[in-house]
Amino acid sequence: MAAVLLTLLSAFPAATSISSSLRNLPVPAEARSSFRNARLSLSMSSSPIRARLPRKLRAARFSRSIACAPAFSLNAQRLQTSEILDCKAWPDSPVFLYTWAQLMVGSVHGPPTSLSIVSFTSHPHFTATPEPLPTTQSTRRLVAVRATRSAGEEAIQRARAMAMAPHASAAAAAATSALRFAHPSSATGLASPPLAGGCGGFRVQFHSGRRGRGMQQGRREGGSHVARVGGLLGGVFGGGGRDDGEATRKKYADTVARINAMEPEVSALSDADLRARTAGLQERARAGESLDSLLPEAFAIVREASKRVLGLRPFDVQLIGGMVLHKGEIAEMKTGEGKTLVAILPAYLNALSGKGVHVVTVNDYLARRDCEWVGQVPRFLGLQVGLIQQNMTPEQRRENYSCDITYVTNSELGFDYLRDNLAMTVDELVLRNFNYCVIDEVDSILIDEARTPLIISGLAEKPSDRYYKAAKIAEAFERDIHYTVDEKQRNVLLTEQGYADAEEILDINDLYDPREQWASYVLNAIKAKELFLKDVNYIVRSKEVLIVDEFTGRVMAGRRWSDGLHQAIEAKEGVPIQNETITLASISYQNFFLQFPKLCGMTGTAATESQEFESIYKLKVTVVPTNKPMIRKDDSDVVFRATNGKWRAVLVEISRMNKNGRPVLVGTTSVEQSESLSEQLREASIPHEVLNAKPENVEREAEIVAQSGRLGAVTIATNMAGRGTDIILGGNAEFMARLKLREILMPRVVNPLDGVIVSKKQMPPRKTWKTNESLFPCELSKETLSSVKNAVEVAVKEWGEKSLTELEAEERLSYSCEKGPTRDDVIANLRNAFMKIADEYKVYTEEEKKKVITAGGLHVVGTERHESRRIDNQLRGRSGRQGDPGSSRFFLSLEDNIFRIFGGDRIQGLMQAFRVEDLPIESKMLTRALDEAQRKVENYFFDIRKQLFEYDEVLNSQRDRVYAERRRALASDSLESLIVEYAELTMDDILDANIGPDTPKENWDLSKLIAKLQQYCYLLDDLTPELLESKSSTYEDLREYLRKRGREAYFQKAEIVEKQAPGLMKEAERFLILSNIDRLWKEHLQALKFVQQAVGLRGYAQRDPLIEYKLEGYNLFLDMMAQIRRNVIYSVYQFKPVVKSQEEEKPQNKGSKKKVDKGANKLGAAQAAS
């Protein structure tokens, strides 16, 4: 192995002479002991050092750079500089002048024949301390001795003593300051195969004591600032380091101190006094006092309530997290730092104003868990806490949204907003005005799901037989012969042969004939075949295709792909095809959440996406410090050429960890991968659990996560992002106790048929709530089991046998597992039983936790890099919570999708170079190539999200205008002013269309104008050309006269209808406005979709597609608004109510009046449409 010498010289001549005199000193083999690399390292690079130097240092002209051949063999050569660079520009930085002094060559099979000494000048910010390290056969190290201007001779003597020292320990004692040079292959025990093609160079890396890019952290030792090696020259020439949150701690230290100072006073208050203090804070907030001034007292009250109700006292760092959220920023808090508890601090504070707070989570399970668990704290303090779940009625939703704090999922909140804007009466509205929103797992919602807009659809008739025919064509076609696939853009294109064969099979002349429209069917069928895979992108359950969320691994119930794609997949799978849909309302998550006056969020991984949060949402990312230092060890990635080698290595890794008793969490990217790995583990006789989108696994999600931290547990999970449940080492005793109580209680109190749609062919399977016995750490004692059964009997007697819905029973069970005070004797009995179970389980889980920690904690195995480093970090973050030990390692393959699609020519070249599947590849060039591929993916999807946001922004301004108009019509008691406005503007439109403002009076065609006016309103039958001429000498006079007649016609019509059916006109007006807005807005959305598809081609004409979209969208919007006005006023003028006689009403039941009104409205609308 080659040993390389780099001499660092200062501007002092003495140092140069020292270097010259120390060259080629013989060093015995036993004296070549290793020293910890305190400041300087030498590592492989694919380019010479000169390109790596900062711009100011590139002025030094090197005669040549050091280069190495693929096999790491080096040729001896002496390199000298032709110029010395002056470093006065950096007086306070440890900048050293470079010169290549000597290159020593060593045999790959033996030690170097000689060793040179490196010297450099001491610097006040740069010191080195010797520390012996064991020498390995694969590592050749050189020893460097620090020399100073004033003590050059002393340095020479120390160097000679070191060189002659018989033992490594003597050498360490002699060399008071030393640096280690290590070959990069020494970093791991894996052998480094030759690099494929080209040569490598070497670069020097060092840091000053100040924080810099890549530097781990500087620390003070003995008055001198010591720095560790990180990024190339990062500490010297700037760059931001990894934020550890200490700046945030200092920023909020005073406020935290004020809260802590109030703790003794608040602790002395009774429960009633705490609730009274809450009422007092509410009065002050509603009287106009700022929430910032109330913050210390509010947080102190919540902290005390949490201690009493949950048994948890929020740490100072959690208070800081709450302050960051209150400020309207994103708080980055590591996994296990208690984000769920943090959310109630700002939620409580902002709820004091009475305007409502939404706490948004990613799924129903987390929303219910958070509401039932931490939601008890604000409930205990007198606030109302609501919960929105998927199957709730509008009445239940309205009641829960009206609470002070509401827990809800992002999709439920978004769809409720869209449904509110499709409501036909005020009674159908469920949401209140938006005020303050806290988003849990904010990166998952605002970034991962931002590519998918929320859409409410209506049915559109489409012939299903075309989908089946297209599926057969796609099945017969061959890739690269009939079509090509662009996996990056997720698109397919037919080749010339594909066009010809498709037209021949279908017996048509043109695949793109607008009368036939076969092209979309065929292309969707090919997409379904090539780009949408079963058990990866979707699963099939009960003859239904269900989408799997690529970020969370969960089934997205109720979601369907648009534009006929979902139907194409149904045809491919041979399941019944549902009708295609048409968009009724849509909004992106970006524009939806930007409607909140105050928005914030929390997550464990946001810093990598801070630029996107800042640019799109105007949200600053603030890192909150951890309560305990994180000691998780993240091992370097292991890369294989082929997928088979990767999976074999994963199996070996799991087996090795399992034998040591360590719990293992394996993250996979699809259902298919998790099932395949599960099969391999079964063959290896390794017990494990699988958590993926399969229905049988989804039902057990909570219990699987609860035991993932137990001794020897192996858990395979599809994407863990957003799972939201901490993996507690040794197992979660309280959660296991809840499952045991649930297992005994639920079958006794829940009506098994509640909420179940019973098929005529078969009865639904009966739910048992039975939990796998292996989950529980021990069998309950007879005394505890008897106590539990007695408590359940009392509950059944009080509540009734099988009398509750599942939702009601779950709510009462959650109260039974709380620690807060209760006046309900049944709940108190169940709570006592729960505590007894938990106490028994804790004896075993605490003992098991100690064993797991001793073994090394949870080990996370990643099997593929995701589209973002942030998602990789989320998986790693499941280990090492709250200062626990843990580790992680990713096993990758060059055949993984992310590298295959985005890796480019460099990855393809590496795949050709490395032929062995089972040999791990380790190379700096490879690591850079993989990192670059991942950055490409991040940038690609960021561009997609940004483009979606820019296009949806155009739609958003139009959406706001339409929804405001709709809400105005829906909520107004009287629509008279709105109809009058419509009438006047419609008269203006008719006048402008028939007689323009620039038309001379002698050219006015008044007969044509009158004919059009009377076509719109039969009440204007008295208009004549002579009358109009007499009333208008100018165009403006004519405009004002027609506006007046339009108003009069409306009042006349309203009077006629009111006489026939009192109160009907108001309902008819509202119905006509809402129905026309909905219908024309739906058509407008379709038109905009076609425009967006069409403007993309205008880029070839050097025109910006976005600007083109804005222009055309604006013109379409103006036309739509004018059409709404014209349709409504025409319908009002033509409206003729039909009132049933008393004889027709007699057979009808109570409430028939409402049905009559509806009939009249529909008739009026039908007449208007005709």
Q: 956-1169: same fold as 634-729+857-931? A: no
Whether the predicted pLDDT of 1145 surpasses 70 = no
**Range with lowest mean pLDDT among 235-249, 419-433, 644-658:** 235-249
Q: What is the mean pLDDT of residues 686-705?
A: 72
Answer whether 602's CB lies under 8 Å from 621's CB.
no
Q: Is the pLDDT of residue 140 over 80?
A: no
Dump pLDDT digits (tens) for 914-964: 666 667 776 677 777 777 878 888 888 888 888 888 888 888 889 999 999
Measured CA to CA, the distance from residue 190 to residue 845 in angstroms comes to: 37
Does 525 have pLDDT greater than 90? yes
With contact defined as beta carbons under 8 Å apart, do 584 and 458 qualify?
Answer: yes
For the entire predicted model, the pTM comes to 0.66
Quickly tell me which residue has 């709709």 as its tokens: 966
- Rounded Cα–Cα distance for residues 365 and 704 (Å): 14
**Per-residue pLDDT at 230 exceeds 70:** no
Q: What is the pLDDT at residue 384?
A: 93
Can you give the pLDDT at residue 754? Answer: 53
What's the helix, strand, coil split of the chain in %, to 5?
50, 10, 40
Residues whose CB is less than 8 angstroms from the CB of residue 403 and which lie 6 or more positions away in sequence, other chains included: 356, 383, 384, 385, 386
558 versus 240: which is more confidently predicted?
558
Q: Within 13 Å and on the Cβ side, how many CA atoms surround 1?
A: 16
Residue 1077 pLDDT greater than 90, yes or no = yes
- What string of DSSP letters covers 228-246? ---STTTTTS-------SH
End-to-end Cα separation, the chain, in angstroms: 90
Query: Please, what sign has the CA dihedral across residues 712, 718, 720, 725?
Result: negative
Higher-scoring residue by pLDDT: 220, 925: 925
The average pLDDT across 136-143 equals 32
Which DSSP string do the residues of 405-474 spell out, in sequence order? EEEEEHHHHHHHHHHHTT-SSGGG-------EEEEETHHHHHTGGGGS-EEEEEEE---THHHHHHHHHH
pLDDT of 138 > 60? The answer is no
Distance CA 567, CA 571 (A): 6
Residue 693 pLDDT: 64
Q: What is the pLDDT of residue 672?
A: 81
Confidence of residue 553 (pLDDT cuts 50, 70, 90): low
Tens digit of each residue's pLDDT (9 = 90 or more) over 708-766: 888 888 988 886 544 556 788 888 888 888 888 888 888 888 876 654 433 333 444 45
Q: What is the fold, at CATH topology level, of the domain defined by 248-451+593-623? A: Rossmann fold (3.40.50)
The residue ranges of every structural domain in the chain are: 7-206, 248-451+593-623, 462-578, 634-729+857-931, 734-757+766-849, 956-1169
The helix/strand/coil state of 1049 is helix
Angle between helices 1006-1016 and 976-994 (to 10 degrees): 150
Instruction: Provide the CATH number for the domain formed by 462-578 in this structure.
Output: 3.90.1440.10
Q: Can you tell me the distance from the alpha carbon of 897 to that of 575, in angstroms, rounded to the nearest whole number?
A: 29
pLDDT given for residue 777 in this prediction? 78
Give the C-alpha separation, 1164 to 1136, whole Å: 6
User: Which CATH entry fits the domain spanning 956-1169: 3.20.190.10, 2.40.50.100, 1.10.3060.10, 3.30.70.1140?
Assistant: 1.10.3060.10
Tens of pLDDT, residues 299-343: 999 999 999 888 889 999 999 999 999 999 999 888 778 888 999
C-alpha distances (whole Å) from 670 to each of 451, 539, 666 are: 19, 11, 12
CATH 3.40.50.300 fits 634-729+857-931, yes or no: yes
Alpha carbons within 13 angstroms on the beta-carbon side of residue 220 total: 2
Instruction: Give percent above pLDDT 70 in the chain.
Output: 70
CB atoms within 10 A of CB 287: 7
Compute the residue count for the chain. Answer: 1170
> Where is average pLDDT lowest: 24-28, 230-234, 816-820, 909-913?
230-234
CA distance 890 to 639: 8
Mean pLDDT along residues 26-32: 37
Q: Give the pLDDT confidence score for residue 1117 in this predicted structure.
A: 93
For residue 926, the model assigns a pLDDT of 75
What would the two tokens of residue 235 be? 């500490």
According to DSSP, the residues that pair with 204 across neighbouring strands are 42
Alpha-carbon distance 141 to 111, whole Å? 10
Partners of 360 in beta bridges? 408, 439
Of the ranges 465-469, 1021-1025, 1119-1123, which is most confident?
1119-1123
List 486's β-bridge partners, or say none: 491
Q: What percent of the chain has pLDDT over 90?
A: 21
Strands (E), 592-713: 598-603, 621-623, 633-634, 638-640, 664-668, 689-691
**Is residue 249 scored above 70 in pLDDT?**
yes
Contacts of 618 (CB under 8 A, 6+ apart): none
The whole-number pLDDT of residue 751 equals 77
